[in-house]
Amino acid sequence: MENSILIAKLMGPVVLVAAIAMLKDPDDLLSMGREFLKSRALIFISGVLALLGGLAVVNFHNIWIASWPVVITLFGWAMVIGGAMRIALPNVVESIGGAMLKHSSMVRVMAIIWLSFGVGISYVGYF
């Protein structure tokens, strides 16, 4: 449980700030997304970083219990899968990303999901 709290303290505020930025200026995020998808180098580097972060989480926190820590484990595995896809299947990432960018409402939906996750994980980490 100690690792769960530490990871929640690290992960929660980062996700929370990212969600606030997404809500504050969704058009800017859409613009960054388009720029990102044009750069194979950025896709690759982000994949390496996501895979590294995800592996760190699942190696230190592979907890499968019916309680809040499982959310951190699931997020870690999502990072592993997302990172591996960016490295190994950049064309798929470009296709999925391009399809998502066509729907600007997706930014607000994802921002609300991230905001909820960030608030929840920050709360359990700090309070």
Distance CA 13, CA 73 (A): 17
pLDDT of 103 > 90? The answer is: no
Tokens of 112: 């609300």
Give the per-residue pLDDT at 2.
Answer: 87
Q: Report, as an integer, the average pLDDT of 88-105.
A: 93
> Token pair for residue 20?
């606030």
Residue 1 pLDDT > 90: no
| 8 token code pair | 């929640």
Statement: residue 79 has pLDDT above 80: yes
Predicted local distance difference test score (pLDDT) of residue 33: 93
Q: What is the pTM of this model?
A: 0.90
Helical (H) or strand (E) element with 43: helix 40-60
Confidence of residue 104 (pLDDT cuts 50, 70, 90): confident
What are residue 56's phi and psi, to 5 degrees?
Answer: -60, -45
pLDDT tens, 5-57? 999 999 999 999 999 999 999 999 999 999 999 999 999 999 999 999 999 99
Residue 79 — φ and ψ, nearest 5°?
-65, -40
% residues pLDDT > 70 (the chain): 100
The confidence score (pLDDT) of residue 106 equals: 85
Question: What span, in angstroms and rounded, lies between the C-alpha atoms of 124 and 127?
Answer: 6
List all residues 6 or more positions away from 123 whose beta carbon is below 8 Å from its beta carbon.
Answer: 12
